[in-house]
A and B are shown apart, each in its own frame.
Chain A
Amino acid sequence: MTDHDLPVNGTLIWYYTVCHRQVWLMARHLTPDEQDDNVVLGRFIHESTYQRDKHEILIGNIKIDLVRGAKGSALVGEIKKSSRSEASARLQLKYYLYVLKQYGVDIKGMLFFPEEKRNEEIVLDEEGIREVENAIAGVKRIVSMPAPDPPVKTRRCNHCAYAEFCWA
């Protein structure tokens, strides 16, 4: 597959730190089990929280969950079910900030964990940029492989919506 077929997006960046198989599968729209309890809960939280804010802003390949605040104090936000994969969530939001920077927009980011009633501000610094660029390169490398890496059982597999696919 070529770069043109497979744009990098926020979801792939998020998966990159979680599981390389997921990156490969998701890039081919081989989405996980939609009826998985965690997937259903995540979708519900996404749909039912922060309804007053603007939802799902599409910029190029990326889809930002919400944009909040007036000019000057504006921020882009990403909503997460839990902080279990906090590091991945941070990287995903840094990726959005990175993409926006290419468009000349310098803005803050905020991670929202509505279930935990907790937010976390994210700023893109030099190190963040390097981190994001590494991840983009990593995603491209994984996606261009002819087959995904074989599954490796980890703790994450226990509540992963791909588990039945991977271990079938």
Chain B
Amino acid sequence: MNEKEIEVLEIIEHNGRQSIDTIAKMIDLSVEETAEIIKHLEDKKVIVEYAAVIDWAKVEGDSTIKAMIDVKVTPKREVGFDEIARRIYRYDEVKSVYLMSGAYDLSVTVEGKSMAQVAQFVSEKLSTLDSVLSTTTHFIMKQYKHDGTIFDEGDSDKRIVVSP
């Protein structure tokens, strides 16, 4: 991957809504060249999706509950952890799945409308899968930082308006 492609990715990762015109100026290429780079990265699925980071805690009436679940599983011959991971990530409730080193095997993030709904998913769906040996559920109480974005810090500019 060349330097300009990486620059595009860094810019888009920070702000997926940045216009092609602006990105082109930032990386010092023409709009056409930049559009071509972006299309190429989209086609190769390097850019997988354009998402927003949202602080749902600020949305009135939102009752989304998030939990991170440590899952111990039995890997299967030839397919290792991949098969069980695929079975888990297909559930709508599951937002992310990572294979981990250390005390447990899979880290699974689950969302639900209530603690009861999450608990029900874990006890009835996740725990009952054949390869799953055990689960430990941690409910997320408050989100301070997500994907590099700090949620509870004001970003006011403390500088004076004009300075030498």
Whether A and B are associated in the same complex: the answer reads no
Chain A: residues with CB nearer than 8 A to chain B?
none
